[in-house]
């Protein structure tokens, strides 16, 4: 195993010098050019006297890739910033990691200038850096990156990931998926997100594969890119796959190059999975991970596939499902998912008590997710502990209700939260996006639910929405729905 991410990257560059490494909107960098450019950026960062943490507010782009590896090669720690966060949240991050500068592009300049750090434009900094000769790599920092959680339920927390954390996850993915240098990865997720950073930037760079970077997600362009670049690997969230389906309906696209169409970030609906499989001969591979685990925990593969699960764990991770007493819950029994292994985070930056609470005494990370493991070792996610609804003493997992609602022919997507209820204390409420032209009513959906789940799991109310509040990867922000419940007129048809 290599000692650092940057060492593995430089080894790949030496092994595949003339191979396309990063395909951007304007040009393609070979591995030789990629490594030389990153080393020049490293030299420029050293010349500027940057502090240990280097923050950047950048879209998915070659600039991001060069800043990431340039920072690592300078012996510093990259801190990618979520450009969907509010200035107040970003300012908290800058103060927390003590970054001296924020490297950004003109598009984000207005936001960057509100932050308590010097604004450096990548459009000026990188060309100037590339005009200099590459310098030798500095001694690697033990920390490979600090990634901040989205902050939807509080101030963003910095997840500290070591070199071993990231490398072990990359190597685990290489073994799990059979990933190698022949792969061509389409990167359509924002690279500040752990799912994208590991699987669409670090993974291809270590394996000598090619990464095709898209600055923003456009479903039509994504479909065309798959064909134009013979993409083998797409890493996306379900909302992106659903958007691409609409583009596929308008164009007779060839998706035959896809080998690893991976879905994660939130549950993949059965209908979406079935349409890709039946109409386009594409089997979406659902997986599961968290920022704190660098991130991949488990995933389906072409060789080991069970629909509507998140696959088997990576070989270098230990995953168990624990009951309330911390004992094994048993086969096909719900419990909290615990993970132990080399890709589990060092901890939360400047939050020792939070770090301690996240871990068990014997080194397992408590994910806060509920799930079950079947007889064949496949993991199924059933909900979040914090989202669990206790209705008259019975446990209701929103994910189960959402899956039932999604089976209704008039429903495109559903989200379920708990709301106060006089008799039961708490009860499920559903938010639903209907298929265009559908005339389904609240009572229709309640009746449909009663056919498939216990009466106490049936939503007490259904609110129809045109769209849901979403995070940067398309994940539904349920906390926003909870906040919306109070005081507003409800459309219950």
Rg (CA), the chain: 23
pLDDT exceeds cutoff 70 at 415:
yes
Residues 103, 57 contacting (CB under 8 angstroms): yes
DSSP letter at 293?
G
- The model carries a pTM of 0.86
H helix intervals, 261-304: 270-280
Peptide bond into 47 cis (omega under 30): no
Residue 490 — very low, low, confident or very high, per pLDDT cuts 50/70/90?
Answer: very low
Q: If you average pLDDT over every residue of the chain, what do you get?
A: 93
Percent of the chain with pLDDT over 90: 80
> pLDDT by residue (tens digit) across 148-183?
986 544 678 999 999 999 999 999 999 999 999 999
Residue 486 — very low, low, confident or very high, per pLDDT cuts 50/70/90?
Answer: low
Most trustworthy range by pLDDT among 351-355, 389-393, 476-480:
351-355
Q: Which one, of 7, 10, 32, 29, lies nearest residue 20 by Cα?
A: 29
- pLDDT the model gives residue 455: 87
Which residue, chain included where needed, has tokens 């979520």?
Answer: 82
CA 380, CA 389: separation in Å to the nearest integer? 19
Report residue 9 as tokens: 């990257």
Domain spanning 389-485 has what CATH number?
Answer: 3.30.300.30
Domain spanning 5-373 has what CATH number?
Answer: 3.40.50.12780
Q: Which residues pair with 45 in a beta bridge?
A: none
pLDDT exceeds cutoff 60 at 84:
yes
**Domain spans of the chain, in order of start:** 5-373, 389-485
- pLDDT the model gives residue 493: 41
Report residue 293 as tokens: 């685990």
> pLDDT by residue (tens digit) across 115-161?
999 999 999 999 999 998 898 999 999 999 999 986 544 678 999 99
Half-sphere exposure of 192 (CA within 13 A, CB side): 23
Window from 36-50, 91-105, 416-430, 434-448 with minimum mean pLDDT: 416-430
Residues 296, 173 contacting (CB under 8 angstroms): yes
Sign of CA dihedral 197, 202, 207, 212: positive
pLDDT exceeds cutoff 60 at 470:
yes
321 three-class SS: strand
Phi, psi of 447, rounded to the nearest 5 degrees: -65, -40
Residues 454-474, mean pLDDT to the nearest whole number: 88
pLDDT exceeds cutoff 90 at 390:
no
Residues 364, 338 contacting (CB under 8 angstroms): yes
Residue 281 CB neighbours (<10 A): 10
> pLDDT by residue (tens digit) across 259-306?
999 999 888 888 899 999 999 999 999 999 999 999 999 999 999 999
Q: Which residues contact 423 (CB under 8 A, 6 or more apart)?
A: 392
């Amino acid at each position: 195993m290599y000692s650092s991410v940057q060492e593995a990257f430089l080894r790949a560059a030496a092994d595949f010098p003339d191979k396309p490494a990063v395909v951007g909107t304007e040009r393609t960098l070979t591995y030789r050019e990629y490594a030389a450019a990153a080393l020049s950026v490293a030299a420029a960062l050293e010349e500027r006297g940057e502090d240990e943490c280097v923050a950047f507010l950048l879209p998915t782009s070659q600039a991001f890739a060069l800043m990431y590896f340039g920072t690592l090669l300078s012996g510093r720690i990259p801190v990618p910033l979520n450009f969907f966060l509010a200035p107040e949240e970003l300012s908290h991050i800058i103060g927390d990691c003590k970054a001296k500068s924020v490297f950004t592009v003109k598009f984000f300049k207005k936001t960057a200038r509100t932050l308590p750090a010097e604004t450096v434009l990548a459009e000026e900094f990188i060309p100037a850096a590339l005009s200099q000769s590459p310098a030798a790599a500095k001694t690697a920092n033990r920390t490979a990156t600090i990634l901040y959680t989205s902050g939807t339920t509080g101030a963003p927390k910095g997840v500290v990931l070591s070199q071993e954390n990231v490398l072990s996850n990359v190597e685990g993915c290489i073994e799990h998926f059979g990933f190698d240098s022949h792969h061509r990865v389409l990167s359509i997720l924002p690279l500040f997100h752990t799912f994208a950073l590991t699987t669409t930037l670090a993974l291809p760079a270590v394996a000598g594969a090619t990464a095709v970077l898209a600055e923003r997600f456009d479903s039509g362009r994504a479909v065309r890119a798959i064909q134009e670049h013979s993409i083998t690997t797409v890493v996306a969230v379900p909302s992106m796959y659903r958007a691409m389906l609409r583009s596929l309906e308008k164009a007779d696209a060839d998706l035959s190059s896809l080998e690893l169409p991976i879905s994660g970030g939130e549950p993949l609906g059965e209908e979406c999975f079935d349409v890709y499989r039946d109409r386009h001969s594409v089997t979406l591979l659902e997986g599961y991970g968290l920022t704190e685990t660098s991130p991949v925990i488990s995933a389906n593969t072409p060789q080991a596939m069970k629909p509507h699960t998140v696959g088997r764990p990576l070989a270098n991770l230990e995953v168990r499902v624990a009951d309330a007493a911390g004992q094994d819950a048993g086969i096909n029994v719900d419990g909290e998912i615990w993970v132990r292994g080399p890709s589990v985070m060092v901890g939360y930056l400047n939050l020792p008590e939070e770090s301690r609470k996240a871990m068990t005494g014997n080194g397992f990370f408590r994910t806060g997710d509920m799930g079950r493991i079947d007889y064949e070792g496949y993991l199924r996610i059933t909900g979040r502990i914090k989202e669990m609804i206790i209705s008259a003493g019975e446990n209701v997992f929103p994910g189960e209700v959402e899956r039932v609602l999604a089976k209704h022919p008039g429903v495109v997507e559903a989200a379920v939260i708990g709301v106060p209820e006089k008799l039961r204390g708490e009860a499920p409420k559903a938010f639903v996006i209907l298929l265009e032209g559908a005339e389904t009513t609240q009572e229709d959906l309640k009746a449909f639910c009663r056919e498939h789940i216990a009466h106490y799991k049936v939503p007490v109310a259904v609110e129809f929405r045109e769209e849901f509040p979403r995070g940067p990867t398309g994940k539904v922000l349920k906390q926003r729905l909870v906040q919306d419940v109070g005081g507003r007129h409800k459309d219950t048809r």
